[in-house]
Amino acid sequence: MNRPDGLALGLGGAPLGNLFAAVDDEAAATTVEAAWAAGVRFFDTAPHYGLGLSERRLGRALAGRPRAEYVVSTKVGRLLVPNEHPVGSDLAEGFAVPDDLRRQRDYSRDGVLRSVEESLGRLGLDRLDVVLVHDAEEHLEEALSAAVPALAELRDQGVVGAIGAGMNLVEPLRRFVEAGVDTVMVAGRWTLLDRSAATLMAACAARGVAVLAAGPFNSGLLAEPWPPDDGRFDYAGAPAELLARARELAAVCRAHGTTLPAAALGFPLRHPAVAYVVAGLRTPEEVRLAASRSGEALPEGLWHELDAVVAGAATGAATASASAKVSR
């Protein structure tokens, strides 16, 4: 995947779709503007994010900018159709928007073609740089047999650039890599704290598949210099052992004169398969802080100590598991 000049930091578009809380149009536009000013040139969105609101806002914010200077990624797998039984809000799905539309899962060829056409309209573009099959773990066979070939057709026609898949499950993503996609987005599984995508990363490196490492903060646990008591991991309260481990990592960062968020943003890019780190950022302040942290040069000795913390936790977990089996 060719990377335009700019940071290897991508702006995740879920907050532009009012993830968890409403953001007005002006605030959303200002966030994209701040990202552009900071050097961000990769922008990820999806129909799922705010029932199309994220795509519309991103398209408006990027309108008039040189098209060759930025990369837009969106997704297929959820068509937006009229909602016959609206209740007034989409917060049950995580987005503070009216629910006049609903999501309809569709990984068929026709569904993919329709989804791409509608995304182009919402974004105001005539081509898409990256299109990912979105959260297809429960529709894997159809996604591989229908959605991927449909995207390949669009790639051959020049409507779509790179094609791939995005989710937070490792083994289904490996199936897409084996199917010959160009890129995968792995969310929350190749982070400073959670390295469970190691085998996927190796497969991507071997096949030349570009990785988009999303969710580098693991839903917030790694987003602050010192993880708070109510820190979240995978959109829920962090278990005590993960909170303790995150604080160990934070202490190592402090000792090296840096911060946990800077290390969280820097970690994925240490792997040669990673093209971008994609973070959902809600405000201009968050964007500017992430941009400054992602450009920070971190000492090699820091990584050795951070790796030791994670490796020690993994060894401890394996020992505990073995002991439990013996005790049974």
Give me the CATH number covering residue 209. 3.20.20.100
| Residue 112, domain member (yes or no) | yes
Q: Is the pLDDT of residue 325 over 60?
A: no
- The answer to whether residue 327 is domain-embedded is no
pLDDT confidence of residue 295: 85
The pTM (predicted TM-score) of the whole model is 0.93
Confidence of residue 318 (pLDDT cuts 50, 70, 90): very low
Is residue 51 over pLDDT 90? yes
Give the whole-angstrom CA distance, residue 135 versus residue 52: 17
For 209-254, the pLDDT digits (tens) are 999 999 999 999 999 999 999 999 998 999 999 999 999 999 999 9
Give 3-22 pLDDT, tens digit per residue: 655 689 999 999 999 999 99
For residue 209, is it within any domain?
A: yes
Using pLDDT thresholds of 50, 70 and 90, give the confidence band for residue 328.
Answer: very low
Helices 284-294, 25-38: crossing angle, 10 deg rounding: 20
Q: Which domain holds residue 52?
A: 9-216+267-297
pLDDT digits (tens, 9 = 90+) for 150-192: 999 999 999 999 999 999 999 999 999 999 999 999 999 999 9
Whether the predicted pLDDT of 107 surpasses 60: yes
pLDDT at 324 over 50: no
212 occurs within a structural domain: yes
Answer yes or no: is 27 within a domain. Answer: yes
The answer to whether residue 140 scores a pLDDT higher than 50 is: yes
> What token pair was written down for 320?
């505990």
How much of the chain, in percent, has pLDDT values that exceed 70?
94
For residues 259-286, give the mean pLDDT: 97
In a domain, 232, yes or no: no
pLDDT, residue 313, reads 77
Q: Is residue 237 in a domain?
A: no
Q: How many domains does the chain have?
A: 1
Cα 99 to Cα 51: distance, rounded to the nearest angstrom:
8
| Domain contains 153 | yes
Cite the active site residues: 49
Two tokens, residue 318: 């394996």
Beta partners for residue 75, in sequence order: 132
pLDDT at residue 319 above 70? Answer: no
